[in-house]
Amino acid sequence: MNHTIEMSDETLKNSIYSLCTVPNGRAHGGSFAHRGELRQAKRIVVKLGSAVVTRGDECGLALGRLASIVEQVAMLQNQGREMMIVTSGAVAFGKQRLRHEILLSQSVRQALHSGQNQLKDMSLPVLEARACAAAGQSGLMALYEAMFTQYSTCTAQVLVTNLDFHDDQKRQNLNSTLQELLRMNIVPIINTNDAVVPPPEPNSDLQGVNVISIKDNDSLAARLAVEMKADLLIALSDVEGLYNSPPGTDDAKLIDIFYPGDQQSITYGTKSRVGIGGMEAKVKAALWALQGGTSVVIANGTHPKVTGHVITDIVEGKKVGTFFSEIKPAGPTVEQQTEMARNSGRTLASLHPDQRSEIICQLAELLTEKKEEILAANKMDMDLAVSAGHLPPAMLKRLSLSPAKLNSLAIGLRQIAVASQDSVGRVLRRTRVAHNLELEQITVPIGVLLVIFEARPDCLPQVSALAIASGNALLLKGGKEAANTNRVLHQLTQEALSMHGVREAVQLVSTREEVEDLCRLDKMIDLIIPRGSSQLVRDIQRAAKGIPVLGHSEGICHVYVDADASVDKVIKIVRDSKCDYPAACNAMETLLIHRDILRTPLFDQIIDMLRTERVKIHAGPRFASYLTFSPSEAKSLRTEYGDLECCMEVVDSMQDAVDHIHKYGSSHTDVIITENEDTAEQFLQQLDSACVFWNTSSRFADGYRFGLGAEVGISTARIHARGPVGLEGLLTTKWVLRGDGHTAADFSEHGTMKYLHENLPVGQPLAGRRDSN
C-alpha cells in the first residue's frame, strides 16, 4: 500500500521546530519516566538513519545489519506490539542500481568504440539524489518485504511529504491509513518521498551523491510518533547515544538519561558520515517528540556486537543509548554515585589506620544504640514480605534481624576494626635493586566495589566495614525486600563515615537500576561481589562486561564418611552440615558413604538421623543399585538443594570420593570424616576445593568463624582470593620504586651500575619517609 503526497523536507523540519505547542496537545498520557517502564510500550516507531541502513562505502545497503533489525521488529510485532519503521536507504539503494546500469552501458559502448584497454579509464557522472531515490524506493521496499516475510509479517510502504502534515485532510488520511495498517497487524515502512523533494543545499554533496533524507527522517519520525500517539521512538544512528561533548574527545561521556533542561551542557560535534542532520537535529526532534508525549531513545544501530539485540534491549528497559525523560530524579544517578564513591574512597584510603578503625567502631556502636530503629524498619520489611507471600521460609529467615543478630554483627565489626590496623600500606616485599634504588610491594585498595545482595540486610554493615577497613569505595545494591532496613543501615554507615569526612565512600543504589545495567559500568567499577542465590551469581557472571566477579555460582558441598570414621563424629557432623542452615552455601548437599559402611549399624544410624531431621534423601545411581526399595533417584549428582534435601551416593575408597568430588563438586567446601590420619591427609592434599576439612562440619566455611571478622562472600576462583573472602581479599598490591636519578642505561653493558637484588627485611609502612643508605 503506497500513500504518496508532496512534501518539502526543509520546510517540514522548520515547521516542526518552530511550533511552540504540540499539535493536538498531550494526547496520550505523557511519556514514560523511567527506562523500566518501556516494557509497557505498545506502539513503537523505529527510525533507521542513513548510517544504519547504508554500507560504509555509501553505495548499497548493509544487508546483515538490516536483517537483524527486521528480526527484532518482527519479534516485537509478533508479541502484540504495533511497530512502525521510518527508514532511510532509498538513495543508497538507487545509487547502487544506477551505478551498475551506467557502468554496464559505458562498458558496452567503450568496448564497441575504443577497445577493452580503456575500460579502466571510465568515470562515473555525479548522480542526482532524487533520481537515486526514484530508482531505489521500489527495491528498498521489496527488500523489506522479503525479509519480513521470513517472520510471517506483512509490510506496507508509505511515502510522505510535507503536505501530509500541513493539510488537515491529508494528515487525517495519513493517520487513518496508518491506523488501519496497524489494526491489520501490518508494519508500515515510512519514508519521505525523496524523488520529488526540492534540491538539497549546495554544500551537502557527499562524494557525488547528495544524501538528503537523514535530517528529514529525524523530523519525520518525531512528527509521526506524536501524530500516531506512539509510546516510544527509537532513533538508531552510528553513535552510542548522546555525549556531553563530541564522541572521541578525552572527556566525552555517554549520557544515560537526558532531560529537556540539559541542552546547555551539550557540545555538538561533526555530522554523521552520511546524511546532513547530525546529532543536534536528532536531539531537537527527540525533545519535540518528548514534549508530545512520546518517549525517545537514541542508540547505536551499527555496532556489530549489539545490533542484533539493540531494539529489544531498549524495549526491555536495559541501559542502552540515551533515554530522554521529562522527570529528573531527586537524587544522583548511579554514575554520579559511583564517581562520588570513588573520590571519597581515595580520601578514605589515605586516612591513618586508626581513623579507619574508629569509623568501624563507631558503626558497631550505632548498631547497638540504634537497635530499636533498625528492628522497626526490619519489621516493616518482614510484614510486607509475609503479606506478599513470595519469599520462601529460608529467605524470610535471612531477611529477619534480631537483637542477637545485631550484637553478633557489632562483635564482628570490632574484629574487623582491629584487623584494619595493618591492612592498607603493608609492605609485603622489599628489595634493594641497586645502590640507592629500593623497591617495595605494598598493599592497596582494589578501588570501587559493587556488592549485590538479596534479602539479607546484615550483609550491609559487614561489607561496609570490610570496605572501610581496606580503603575501598563501595556501591551497594540490595534486594527490594529489605529496602527499609537497608536504608536505615546505610544512613548509620554514612553517619559513621562522616566523623572523618568520607561520608560518600559508601553508596546505596536505590534507583530503578537493573543489576545487568550496573554490571556494564566497566569504566567505573573494579570488582563485583554477588551475595545471594546461585542463580543471582550466575546471572551476574554472565552480565558482567569486563569487570571481575568474585564469588561462586554453586555451593555443592560434600561430606565423605570413610570406612574408619567414628560413629559419634559422623552423626554429629552430618547433622550439623545439612540441618544447621540448609539454605547456606556451605551446607552439605551430597553425602558420600564408603561401601563397607552399607548394612552396618552406622549406616542405619545415619539414615535414622536424617529421617528424624526430615531430610529428603535422593539416591545416587550406585546407592540405588544396592537397595531393593530405594529413595527417589537423584536427577543429577551436581545439585544444590538449598533445603532439607541431599543426595547420597556410595564410593569404593577415599580416592573414589576425591574423583567424585572433582567431577560433580563446585570447589566450595568438602569434608572427610575418618580416624585414619594418613587417609585424611591424602584427602586434604589431593582435593583442590577452596575449603577442605577433616572431622568438622562444612558450616565452618565462613569468614566470621575463620576469625576474619566478616566476609564479603566465598570465592571458588583460582586466582586472587579463595574461600571466605575477608579483609585480605579486598586488597591488591602496587610496586613502589625509590631512586636517585637512576636510568635503565646505567645498567647496560657499558653502564656504571650493577644490579644487587638484595632482599631486605619487611618493616612497617614507610609513610613517605626515605632511607638514606
Q: How far is CA 158 from the centre of its chain?
A: 39
Examine the domain organization and report whether 175 and 281 are in the same domain.
yes
CATH number at 446 reads 3.40.605.10
Q: Which of 543, 568, 583 is the last residue of a domain?
A: 543
- Whether residue 435 contacts residue 753, with contact meaning beta carbons closer than 8 Å, is answered with yes
**In sequence order, which ranges of 351-473 are alpha helices (DSSP H)?**
353-369, 371-388, 393-399, 403-419, 459-469
Residue-level pLDDT at 609: 96
Examine the domain organization and report whether 208 and 344 are in the same domain.
no
Residue 596 Cα distances to 563, 564, 573, 617, 679, angstroms = 6, 10, 19, 20, 15
Using CA atoms of 35, 41, 45, 51 in order, give the dihedral in degrees to the nearest 10: 30
Residues with Cβ within 8 Å of residue 230, at least 6 apart in sequence:
43, 44, 45, 84, 224, 294
Q: Which of 696, 721, 746 is the last residue of a domain?
A: 696
551 within a domain of the structure (yes/no) = no
Examine the domain organization and report whether 151 and 261 are in the same domain.
yes
How far apart are the two ends of the chain, measured CA to CA in Å?
Answer: 89
Cell 548522546 maps to which residue? 242
Residue of 516, 80, 459 whose CA lies nearest to 334: 516
Examine the domain organization and report whether 378 and 312 are in the same domain.
no
Per-residue cell: 583:
539454605
Sheet holding 527-531, edge to edge: 506-508, 473-478, 448-453, 527-531
Examine the domain organization and report whether 200 and 240 are in the same domain.
yes
Residue of 215, 217, 244, 247 whose CA lies nearest to 233: 217
Calculate Rg over the CA atoms of the chain: 34
Q: Can you list the residues of the chain whose pLDDT is less than 70?
A: 1-29, 57-60, 100, 103-127, 195, 197-216, 263-278, 512-513, 553, 630, 709, 763-773
- Whether residue 315 contacts residue 44, with contact meaning beta carbons closer than 8 Å, is answered with yes
Which domain covers residue 83, as residue numbers?
A: 35-324
Examine the domain organization and report whether 562 and 607 are in the same domain.
yes
Examine the domain organization and report whether 170 and 243 are in the same domain.
yes
Rounded Cα–Cα distance for residues 224 and 83 (Å) = 12
Examine the domain organization and report whether 375 and 310 are in the same domain.
no
Residues paired with 559 in a beta bridge: 591, 671
- Whether residue 83 contacts residue 190, with contact meaning beta carbons closer than 8 Å, is answered with no
Rounded Cα–Cα distance for residues 455 and 393 (Å) = 12
Q: Which of 324, 351, 379 is the last residue of a domain?
A: 324
| Mutual angle of helices 214-227 and 168-183, in 10-degree steps | 80
Rounded Cα–Cα distance for residues 174 and 171 (Å) = 5
704 within a domain of the structure (yes/no) = no
Residue of 144, 147, 145, 129 whose CA lies nearest to 92: 129
Cell 544512613 maps to which residue? 491
CA angle 436, 439, 444 (to 5 degrees): 140
Examine the domain organization and report whether 580 and 536 are in the same domain.
no
153 within a domain of the structure (yes/no) = yes
Rounded Cα–Cα distance for residues 38 and 726 (Å) = 40
Amino acid letter at 305?
A: K
Residue of 354, 332, 606, 716 whose CA lies nearest to 500: 354
CATH number at 239 reads 3.40.1160.10
Examine the domain organization and report whether 227 and 355 are in the same domain.
no
674 within a domain of the structure (yes/no) = yes
For the entire predicted model, the pTM comes to: 0.76
* DSSP-derived 3-state class of residue 568: helix
CATH number at 620 reads 3.40.309.10
600 backbone φψ class: left, alpha, beta (φ>0; ψ -120 to 50):
beta
389 within a domain of the structure (yes/no) = yes
70 within a domain of the structure (yes/no) = yes
721 within a domain of the structure (yes/no) = no
Per-residue cell: 507:
553508596
Residue of 180, 183, 165, 177 whose CA lies nearest to 227: 165
Cell 572433582 maps to which residue? 662
Rounded Cα–Cα distance for residues 160 and 164 (Å) = 6
571 within a domain of the structure (yes/no) = yes
Rounded Cα–Cα distance for residues 466 and 730 (Å) = 8
Rounded Cα–Cα distance for residues 420 and 464 (Å) = 13
Examine the domain organization and report whether 366 and 316 are in the same domain.
no
When divided into structural domains, the chain yields a total of 3
Check residue 420 and report its DSSP letter: G
Examine the domain organization and report whether 315 and 407 are in the same domain.
no
Per-residue cell: 261:
533542561
